Amino acid sequence: MASKIIVNDIEHSSGSGTAVSMAKANITNLDTTNIVSGTIGSNVIFPNQHIIRYGLASLATTPSALTATGSTDLITVNLLVPAAYNYMFVQFDFNYKLAGNSTSTNPYAYFAIIDVTNNNAAKTISKVKHVLPANTDEVIGQGTISAFFQVSGANNSYTVKSTQTWGEGSITTLGNNESDLTNPTTLTVGLTQGTPT
């Protein structure tokens, strides 16, 4: 006959200052108060769809405008990933400025979410394009792209980033140093156990 033991608290014999090492555990309810600052053993199993880590990073400074072939890294996030069965959700919200130049009245750019740890795999790429009346005009807009994928392996510093890539005209992604904007471009990252149903 199966039995259950219910206790109010479990503490390591050396006191709360010493971490308890878990070889294997199925966690049905988790207090996430101190999860961010610690590491999680690869044998710890979270309930399906449980959020393990979650955070948001903003683009501090507007980078130089891209006016020719090339790409710029925008926001890079490192996330502790305890096991390869975890899934990552990434949302990239961006404010951009596209301008014409001497060769184009149809400026466009590509914005992407890149899984750096998995050989710089592009998880989402989106093209933004505007048709301008004259090559001296510009337009400011907003966009959102997202990706949900299984991480490629356990890694103490799993890295994802967002990028802008030149197409035509002049492309700028706006950062926090703009006087009339607050957190205009952000990368939200969440790590979960299992895929949603």
Q: Give strand ranges (E) for 40-99.
A: 44-45, 50-58, 71-81, 86-99
Q: How does residue 36 score in pLDDT terms, banded at 50, 70 and 90?
A: very low
pLDDT of residue 82: 75
% of the chain with per-residue pLDDT over 90: 53
pLDDT value, residue 4: 72
How far apart (Å, rounded) are the C-alpha atoms in residues 167 and 164?
10
Start-to-end CA span in the chain (Å): 33
Q: How far is CA 57 from the centre of its chain?
A: 8
**Predicted pLDDT at 102:** 73
Q: Which domains does the chain have, with CATH numbers?
A: 48-193 (2.60.120.760)
The confidence score (pLDDT) of residue 140 equals 95
Contact 173, 187 (CB under 8 A): no
Cα four-point dihedral sign 151, 157, 160, 166: negative
pLDDT above 70: residue 37:
no
Please compute, for residue 75, the number of CA atoms within 13 A of its CA located in the half-sphere on the CB side.
Answer: 28
Asked if 84 and 155 count as a contact pair (C-beta separation under 8 A), the reply is no
Q: What pLDDT digit, counting tens, does each position of 130-140 carry? A: 999 888 899 99
